[in-house]
Amino acid sequence: MDNVIDFKIPVYKVLEKNPELKPLLVEAGFKPLMDQKMLHSVGRLVNLNQGVKKINISIGDLVNKLEWNGYEVKGVE
């Protein structure tokens, strides 16, 4: 497991590299990721920085959740 999560790369690429993150992101509010069509379309275009704005969740809360689960976070805007 590579534990670095870059908020500047598309969500699809993040999950391709770290598939175990999907339940954590869904729990944090990324409910559209449950739909494979959304993941394969919008997920290829939207990065985590953009995603938190679109679904209106706290970027700080997401960063804390990821760090608490052992990930190093970079690229946060």
Q: How far apart are CA 5 and CA 23, in angstroms?
A: 15
- Answer yes or no: are the C-beta atoms of 58 and 68 closer than 8 Å: no
Nearest CA-CA partner of 2 in 77, 73, 51, 76: 73
**Cα–Cα distance, 73 to 67 (Å, whole number):** 7
Q: Does residue 34 have a pLDDT over 90? A: yes
Please name every residue paired with 47 in a beta bridge, in sequence order, or none if there are none: 10
Q: What is residue 41's predicted lDDT score, i.e. its pLDDT?
A: 93
The domain limits of the chain are 4-72
Angle among Cα 20, 65, 39 to the nearest 5 degrees reads 45
The pTM of this model reads 0.87
Question: Across residues 1-24, what is the average pLDDT?
Answer: 92
Pick the CATH number of 4-72 from 1.10.3910.10, 3.40.50.11540, 3.30.1330.60, 3.50.50.60: 1.10.3910.10
